[in-house]
């Protein structure tokens, strides 16, 4: 039997390549800026974590591509997404280290980088795309800027990637398959509508009878209640729902959206525990992305003030706009608008709760 050659730590991790990959422009140019090492290493560490995030995202995508999704696979998807969340935590925290560099120390070598910029990170864009944020659907002006900054080979690959099935579409398909809310014996949404409209009526009466409110305060609160009721109505009417969607980035079909809502409402029923964890992870990843964007925008302001970026954008101004406009799972994030207190939730019929908590049936239903 052939004896396997012992692997050495430095070979296994390719440390010769890794540790010889810090090419400091300021040293090559005789300026010897101490902080450039921190700048390069921080970016490289980010790119390594981006690679890990992509590894997890591709695995989740493969899981959701199948038409039969059993509990074990769903659990693996949740683990991957949870891992991404934790990595994002590191990515955000890492900016603290970057900020130990002062703006003056950064200025010392910044010009040597032009026109290199995080703008050109193909892995960052690949992550965005897999999560459904296409290059072509950004705020006006941003798409051209972003696409124009990419290296040609990256641009071709990313524009091709956009045509593939992305995570939101796969999640939507899976959500649409959730079987519990409508069948010949029971239509959950009829019960839910009743509960909502009863609740709104009670709230309306409470406002009208509240002696501590002025007339204008009453009017303003009644207006909010009406808006809330209209939002609910749009949820239960296909045409109204479509119209609402036209004005937002949200993309889930009504069926998928309602099923996601059902998962949130009955998250403690056996078969919905993992789906609930999955939706929570997706919302958290979206939020963490925005957190990173906001934190990075603040850092750009601190380092550059109102100067433009090395990639040619308006710098801090551009980055701040991406915080709210580049949300990924807008639909999931907006779901809480449609929640009602547990005490008001319709009680599910016994045949349904038995199905939802019976293991064998449960795994079949999740597929």
Show the tokens assigned to 149. 């900054």
Residues in CB range of 125: below 8 A, 6 or more apart: 135, 146, 150, 154, 158
Rg for the chain, CA atoms, rounded: 25
312: contact with ligand HEM by CB under 6 A: yes
Residue where the block lists tokens 């300026």: 31
Using CB atoms within 10 Å of the CB of residue 312, give its burial: 0 to 12 exposed, 13 to 18 middle, 19+ buried.
middle
Using CB atoms within 10 Å of the CB of residue 191, give its burial: 0 to 12 exposed, 13 to 18 middle, 19+ buried.
middle
Piece of 173-181, 250-258, 312-320, 335-343 that binds ligand HEM (CB under 6 A): 312-320
Complex with ligand HEM: residue 96 or 165, whichever CB lies closer = 96
300: contact with ligand HEM by CB under 6 A: yes
Using CB atoms within 10 Å of the CB of residue 293, give its burial: 0 to 12 exposed, 13 to 18 middle, 19+ buried.
buried
Among 109, 119, 174, 329, contact with ligand HEM (rule: CB under 6 A): 119
Piece of 80-88, 114-122, 215-223, 357-365 that binds ligand HEM (CB under 6 A): 114-122
* x-or-dash string of contact with ligand HEM, 2-41, rule CB under 6 A: ----------------------------------------
Any bridge partners for residue 186, and if so which? 183
Closest CA to 249 of 137, 339, 102: 137
157: contact with ligand HEM by CB under 6 A: no
Complex with ligand HEM: residue 277 or 310, whichever CB lies closer = 310
Piece of 194-202, 251-259, 264-272, 314-322 that binds ligand HEM (CB under 6 A): 314-322
Shortest Å distance, C-beta 14 to ligand HEM: 21
Q: State the Cα–Cα distance between residues 207 and 172, nearest whole angstrom.
A: 38
Among 98, 159, 234, 361, contact with ligand HEM (rule: CB under 6 A): 98
Binding residues for ligand HEM, total number by CB under 6 A:
25
Cis peptide before 115 (omega within 30 of 0): yes
109: contact with ligand HEM by CB under 6 A: no
Q: State the Cα–Cα distance between residues 333 and 77, nearest whole angstrom.
A: 19
- Residues in contact with ligand HEM by the rule CB under 6 A: 42-43, 46, 98, 106, 117-119, 121, 124, 146, 296, 299-300, 303-304, 309-313, 315, 318-319, 322
């Amino acid at each position: 039997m052939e004896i396997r050659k012992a692997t050495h730590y430095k070979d296994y991790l390719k440390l010769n390549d890794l540790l010889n990959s810090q090419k400091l422009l300021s040293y090559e140019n005789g300026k010897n800026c101490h902080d450039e090492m921190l700048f390069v290493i921080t970016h490289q560490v980010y790119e390594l974590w981006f690679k890990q995030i992509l590894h997890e995202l591709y695995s989740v995508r493969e899981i959701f591509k199948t038409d039969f999704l059993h509990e074990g696979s769903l659990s693996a998807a949740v683990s991957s997404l949870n891992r991404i969340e934790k990595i994002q935590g590191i990515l955000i925290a890492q900016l603290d280290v970057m900020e130990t560099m002062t703006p003056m120390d950064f200025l010392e070598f910044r010009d040597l980088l032009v026109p290199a910029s995080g703008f050109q990170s193909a892995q960052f864009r690949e992550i965005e795309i897999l999560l459904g944020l296409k290059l072509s659907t950004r705020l006006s002006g941003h798409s051209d800027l972003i696409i124009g900054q990419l290296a040609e080979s990256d641009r071709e690959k990313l524009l091709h990637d956009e045509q593939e099935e992305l995570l939101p579409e796969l999640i939507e398909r899976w959500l649409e398959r959730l079987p519990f809310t409508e069948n010949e014996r029971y239509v959950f949404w009829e019960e839910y509508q009743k509960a909502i409209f009863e609740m709104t009526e009670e709230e309306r009466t409470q406002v009208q009878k509240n002696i501590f409110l002025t007339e204008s305060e009453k009017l303003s609160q009644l207006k909010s209640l009406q808006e809330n009721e209209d939002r609910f109505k749009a949820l239960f009417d296909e045409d109204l729902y479509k119209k609402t969607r036209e004005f937002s980035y949200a993309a889930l079909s009504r069926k998928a959206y309602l099923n996601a809502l059902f998962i949130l409402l009955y998250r403690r029923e056996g078969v919905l525990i993992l789906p609930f964890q999955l939706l929570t992870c997706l919302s958290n990843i979206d939020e963490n992305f925005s957190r990173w964007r906001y934190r990075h925008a603040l850092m750009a302001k601190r380092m550059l003030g109102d100067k433009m970026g090395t990639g040619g954008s308006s710098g801090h101004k551009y980055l701040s706009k991406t915080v709210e406009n580049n949300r990924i799972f807008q639909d999931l994030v907006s779901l809480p608008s449609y929640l009602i207190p547990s005490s008001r939730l319709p009680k599910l019929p016994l045949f349904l709760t038995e199905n939802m908590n019976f293991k064998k049936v449960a795994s079949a239903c999740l597929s």
